[in-house]
């Protein structure tokens, strides 16, 4: 038995485009003694496409992660390096691996991430909605009451919500979201990084466009609550309060813009000039 203990590498793999497999991820998968995968057949296909052969694969998914821990910890203790991969994207992000990582940390074993593709981040990148702060909810519960309770937990946060949902449940999930969260912008990201990648933007409470073409799992992004625009009276009051501070109209407009919502610096600048002319 080796005196050196193995390392667990958490390896992000492509969402659908093989070109997103990083050189470091490829080198790690080639080097480790065992690959722990959510679906060994799917991972086997990925390795074949990447030109990696002869690799030992062990399944690690939500139904067997707890019972697989002992075997994996024994391999690590014997000096075998292991890579954890999910079906696509970044492991642990709504996928298996957390229990293994926690067990390794408790035992002082080395765990190292190999970052790469991640569906929630990719969806945020292309959604056109505020990217931060955001809360990732994972997969929504199956029951409507549980979905409603989940949304209620985050309804008051000024944050973008991101979650996974299947095509046959997404319309109902958005209806529940509208009833709990109110009027907000949303985006459905489908086929991320693939040939038919698509971002469908809409507003909660309105009919879902292009729903017939949806397939598989979707990444849903719901924007934060819409802040009510500052009233003209509120903006005029700030103009009066700052009138004696010696600021130029342009600097005054920029300062007031940071203290209000729904107004552009250009509109405030025009109001400053208007008020100054009277």
For the chain, the structural domain boundaries read: 7-117, 120-222, 232-277
Question: Is domain 120-222 classified as CATH 3.30.950.10?
Answer: yes
Q: How far apart are CA 217 and CA 214, in angstroms?
A: 9
pTM of the predicted model as reported, rounded to 2 decimal places? 0.80
Instruction: Note the pLDDT of residue 230.
Output: 82
- CA distance linking residue 139 with residue 250, whole number of Å: 47
pLDDT in tens, 173-213: 999 999 999 989 999 999 999 999 999 999 998 887 666 56
For domain 7-117, the CATH architecture is 3-Layer(aba) Sandwich (3.40)
> Locate tokens 């729903």: which residue?
211
Largest CA distance in the chain: 88
User: In the beta sheet, which residues pair with residue 200?
Assistant: 188
Instruction: Please tell me the distance from the alpha carbon of residue 119 to that of residue 217, in angstroms, as a whole number.
Output: 11
Percent of the chain whose predicted confidence (pLDDT) is above 70: 94
Interhelix angle 167-181/144-154, rounded to 10 degrees, is: 50
Residue whose C-alpha is closest to residue 97's, from 117, 129, 68: 68
**Tens-digit pLDDT profile for residues 223-263:** 999 776 788 888 989 999 998 888 899 999 988 988 887 77
Integer Cα distance of 251 and 243 in angstroms: 11
Tens digit of each residue's pLDDT (9 = 90 or more) over 107-156: 999 999 999 999 999 999 999 999 999 999 999 999 999 999 999 999 99
What confidence score (pLDDT) does residue 183 get?
A: 86
* DSSP at 180: H
d(CA 187, CA 124): 9
């Amino acid at each position: 038995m080796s005196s050196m203990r193995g390392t667990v590498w958490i390896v992000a793999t492509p969402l659908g485009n093989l070109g997103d497999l990083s050189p470091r991820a490829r080198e790690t998968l080639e080097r480790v003694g065992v690959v722990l995968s959510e679906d060994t057949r799917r991972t086997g296909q990925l390795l074949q496409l990447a030109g990696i052969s002869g690799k030992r694969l062990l399944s690690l998914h939500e139904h067997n992660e707890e019972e697989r821990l002992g075997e994996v910890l024994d391999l690590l203790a014997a000096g075998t390096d292991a890579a954890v991969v999910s079906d696509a994207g970044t492991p642990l992000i709504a996928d298996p691996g957390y229990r293994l990582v926690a067990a390794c940390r408790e035992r002082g074993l080395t765990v190292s991430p190999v970052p790469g593709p991640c569906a929630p981040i990719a969806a945020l990148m292309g959604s056109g909605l505020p990217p931060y702060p955001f809360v990732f909810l994972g997969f929504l519960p199956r029951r409507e009451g549980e979905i409603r309770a989940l949304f209620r937990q985050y309804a008051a946060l000024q944050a973008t919500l991101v979650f996974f949902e299947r095509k046959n449940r997404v319309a109902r999930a958005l209806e529940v979201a509208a009833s709990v969260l109110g009027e907000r912008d949303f985006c459905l990201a489908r086929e991320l990084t693939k040939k038919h990648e698509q971002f469908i933007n809409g507003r909660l409470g309105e009919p879902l466009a292009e729903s017939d073409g949806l397939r598989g799992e979707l990444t849903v992004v719901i924007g934060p609550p819409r802040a009510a625009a500052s009233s003209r009276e509120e903006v005029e009051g700030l103009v009066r309060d700052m009138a004696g501070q010696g600021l130029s109209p342009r600097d005054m407009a920029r300062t007031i813009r940071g203290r209000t919502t729904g107004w552009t610096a250009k509109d405030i600048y025009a109001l400053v000039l208007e008020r100054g002319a009277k």
